[in-house]
Amino acid sequence: MTLVTTEMTDQAVAKAPAAKAVALPVAAGERELRLDLFRGMALWLIFIDHLPPNILTWFTIRNYGFSDATEIFIFISGYTAAFVYSRAMLDRGFVVASARIFKRVWQIYVAHVFLFTIYLAEISYIATRFENPLYAEEMGILDFLKQPDVTIVQALLLKFRPVNMDVLPLYIVLMIFLPGIIWLMQRKADLALSLSVLLYALTWQFDWYLPAYPNGFWAFNPFAWQLLFVFGAWCALGGAKRMARILSSRITLWLCIGYLVFAFCVTLTWHVPQLNIFMPRWLESWMYPINKTDLDVLRFVHFLALAAITVRVLPKDWPGLRSPWLRPVIRCGQHSLEIFCLGVFLAFAGHFVLAEVSGGAWMHFFVSVAGIVIMSAAAWLFSWYKSEIGKGDKRAKSADADADLAGGGS
C-alpha cells in the first residue's frame, strides 16, 4: 500500500555507515511499475473474489492453485514499505524514519475506521430498507446491531471486523513492527529473515493467534503472515539480487512449473468432485486442510513459484508496462489504500444488486466489470488530483522565487 514515490526522499543515501550493507534494487526517483501492476491486479482480484461466484471469478488465481491475491498484496506491501522507509532510515536515521512509518500506520488506521463506519452504514441501511436481516448476518454485523457500544470499542481495537475487512488490520500490525525489521535488515538481513521463519514455525507449533470479537481469532494471523511481509522486505533490501542466479536457473524454472501443475491438479478436484478418486488418501491426509489463516506452507510455496516465473518472464523494462491498456490497473496499484477501501464498499453493493435484481451470468459479469471500471475511474481521479496539486506547488514555489527576486532587486 505504501507508495514508492510518495515517501521517497530525493537526497542520496550513501553517507550512512549501514548503507554498505543494503543494496537497494531501484535507482532513486525510479518507480517499479511491475509492483504497481501486480498490486493493482491483486486489488481487482480481491474485489472479484468478494462477489458471489460469477464468470470473472474463474479468472482469479485462487481457482487454479493454493494461493490467491492476498499473498500478492502482502508481499508487495512488505517490499515497497521496506524499500521506501529504508531509504529514509539511511538518510535521516532510525527515529525520523520510525516517525514516518507510524504516521503511515495512523493513516491506514484512520482509513480502516472510516471504511468500517461507511460499511456498517451501508449494510444496516440496506438490511433495514429491504427488510432483509440476512444481509447483516452474512456480513457479520449482527453483534454490532445487538451491542453497538461494546462492538464499536472492539472495532477500534481491531478485534471486531465485518466480512471482507481483515486485510487492513493485518497490514496495520505488520507496519507497526517495520522500524525494527528494517533496522535489523540493514545490518543482518539473513538473520532478520531467519527470525521471521522461526516465529512462523513457533506459531504453527504452539498455535499462537490474536483473539477476535465476539469469539474466534483473526482471519489472517499476523504471527504467520509476517513471514510473507518480511520476505518481501528482504527481497527489496538486496535479497532478490542475491537470488538472481537461483531464479535464472533452468532447474528452478522446472521445479516451479511442476509445483504449479501439481497445485492446479489438486484444485481441479475441488471443482470436479469426480476427479477426487485420483487423489491418494495419504496425500489428502497430509495436505488438508490448507490453512489460509496461518498461511499454510503450500500456499507460501505456491506464491513463490508464481513470483519466480513472473520475474523471469516479465523484466522490469518490459515496454508493455508503459502501454495505455495497462494504465488503469497500474493506477489502481499506485493508489492501493483508497482503491482497496472502495473495492470493499463496491463488493457489498454488487452483492446486494445480485441478490435483489434477477439476472443470470450476464448480470454477474456486468456487476463485476462495472466495479472494476469504477475503481479504475477513481484511480484516474486520484492521479489527476495528485498531479494538479504538484503543479500548484511548483507554481507557488515559482511565484515565491519571483517575489524574492523582485524584492532583492529593489
Q: How many whole angstroms from its chain centre is CA 275?
A: 33
**The pTM is what?**
0.87
For position 128, what pLDDT does the model report? 78
Summarize the confidence of residues 23-38 as an average pLDDT: 68
> H/E element holding 5?
helix 4-7
CA 400 vs CA 48, 172, 389, 397, 408: distances in Å: 48, 39, 16, 5, 12
Q: Among 21, 8, 167, 29, which residue's Cα sits nearest to residue 81?
A: 8
Do residues 312 and 253 touch, judged by C-beta distance below 8 A? yes
Summarize the confidence of residues 180-208 as an average pLDDT: 96
> What three-state secondary structure class fits 272?
coil
Tell whether the model's pLDDT for residue 103 goes beyond 80: yes
Ranking 23-37, 96-110, 145-159 by mean pLDDT, the lowest is 23-37
Q: What is the pLDDT of residues 42-76, one digit of tens each?
A: 999 999 999 887 778 888 999 999 999 999 999 99
CA 3 vs CA 42, 84, 109, 330: distances in Å: 15, 8, 16, 12
Summarize the confidence of residues 398-403 as an average pLDDT: 48
For residue 211, list its beta bridge partners: 217
Cα separation, 266 vs 60, in Å, equals: 16
For residue 217, list its beta bridge partners: 211
For 343, residues 6+ apart whose C-beta sits below 8 A from its C-beta are 43, 46, 47, 50, 371, 375
Summarize the confidence of residues 153-176 as an average pLDDT: 92
For the beta carbon of residue 184, count every other beta carbon within 10 angstroms: 16
For the chain, how long is the longest CA-to-CA vector? 91
Q: pLDDT class for 403, splitting at 50, 70, 90?
A: very low
Q: pLDDT class for 365, splitting at 50, 70, 90?
A: confident
For position 1, what pLDDT does the model report? 41
Q: pLDDT class for 19, splitting at 50, 70, 90?
A: very low
Unique residue bearing C-alpha cell 477500534: 156
For 76, residues 6+ apart whose C-beta sits below 8 A from its C-beta are 35, 38, 39, 42, 232
For position 164, what pLDDT does the model report? 87
> What three-state secondary structure class fits 112?
helix
Q: What is the pLDDT of residues 109-158, one digit of tens each?
A: 999 999 999 988 888 888 777 777 777 777 777 777 778 888 889 999 99
Summarize the confidence of residues 239-258 as an average pLDDT: 93
Ranking 114-118, 123-127, 342-346, 370-374 by mean pLDDT, the lowest is 123-127
Q: Among 198, 188, 223, 9, which residue's Cα sits nearest to residue 97?
A: 9
Record the cell numbers describing residue 406, joined without a space: 523582485
Considering the chain, what is the average pLDDT of its residues?
A: 85
Tell whether the model's pLDDT for residue 399 goes beyond 80: no
Summarize the confidence of residues 383-398 as an average pLDDT: 72
Cα separation, 337 vs 334, in Å, equals: 9
Helix locations, 130-234, DSSP H: 134-138, 142-146, 148-156, 167-176, 178-206, 222-234
Question: Residue 86 — left, alpha, or beta (φ > 0 → left; ψ -120 to 50 → alpha)?
Answer: alpha
What length is written for the chain? 410
